Structure 1
Amino acid sequence: MHQETTSVTTPDLGFGWGASGLIFAVLMIIALWKVFTKAGRPGWAAIIPFYNAYTLLKVAGRSGWWLILLLIPVVNIVIAIIVSIDVAKAFGKSGVFGFFGLFLFSIIGYLIIGFGQARYTAPPTANA
């Protein structure tokens, strides 16, 4: 008995994932641009890798040295949660919003802060 196997390739599937990723990236840049602008930081910082994370740390009132912690596996998850909560509090939102809105559902949360009525209040530990 001879069994034939065929493989089906769909180039459209790859395009779909690529387009989705591009849309996600553009929405995140737009959201961070608005958040940075509200916080008195340059909006263009949202488009520069690593500098956008540094700027987000500053918005959260954390030291720029925390950027190194974001490079350590597992530790980076904890740091991202802390920074998300700090950013939420700096914009007058709760820690719950920070976790769910900014950490788990980043695009939605940052768009809400960026385009919503939230006002930035610099944390006491924020350095320029």
Structure 2
Amino acid sequence: MLAASITDQASLASAWTSSIIGLAFYVVIAVALWRVFTKAGWPGILAIIPIVNLFILVKIAGYSAWLGLLYFIPIANLILMIIVAIKVGAAFGKGGAFSFFLLFLLPFIGYLILGFGDARYSKPA
């Protein structure tokens, strides 16, 4: 009985730790996206709303928000995330390597660099 109690406590502690780390990443990305949205001319408050921020990123990349529905299709969402990351990076004057590695793979770093750095937004054609 004691072993089960220790296992339950360990899994509960693990769940709390994961939740706190996940919440910290969400807050960092929301702050970074707030600044990116503001630079792009969108209200920064939209960065806090989970699904809406994806649609705004698609708009910042220069695509129609309807294309954001592809985020709900399993394989298409990975391809769309890469394309949007590269186009958002290009809209802020960054190259493809920066966009792929820092906006797609490490977005909590890349969007902080875009938001708080000296990158300027230029609307894609």
Aligned mates of 2:32, 2:63 — CA distance in 1: 20
1:82 maps to 83
**Counterpart code for 2:102:** G
Pairs within 5 Å for 1:106-117: 106-117=107-118
**Counterpart code for 2:76:** V
How many matched pairs? 120
Aligned mates of 1:65, 1:21 — CA distance in 2: 28
CA RMSD of aligned residues (A): 1.3
Partner SS, residue 74 of structure 2: coil
1:19 maps to 20
Deviation at 1:79, TM superposition (A): 0.5
Q: Does 1:37 align with 2:42?
A: no
Partner SS, residue 123 of structure 1: coil
Aligned mates of 2:66, 2:78 — CA distance in 1: 16
- Runs (4+) off by over 6 Å: none
Q: Flag structure 1 segments of 5+ consecutive residues without an equivalent.
A: 1-5
Q: State percent identity of aligned pairs.
A: 49
Give the structure-2-normalised TM-score. Answer: 0.91
Q: Deviations over 1:64-106 (max 9, x none)?
A: 1111111111011000000000000000000111110100001
Aligned mates of 2:27, 2:97 — CA distance in 1: 26
Q: Does 1:63 align with 2:64?
A: yes
1:123 maps to 124
Aligned mates of 1:122, 1:70 — CA distance in 2: 22
Aligned mates of 2:16, 2:80 — CA distance in 1: 33
Query: Which protein is bigger by CA-based radius of gyration?
Result: 1
Partner SS, residue 122 of structure 1: coil
Deviation at 1:12, TM superposition (A): 2.1
Partner SS, residue 41 of structure 1: coil
Deviation at 1:51, TM superposition (A): 1.5
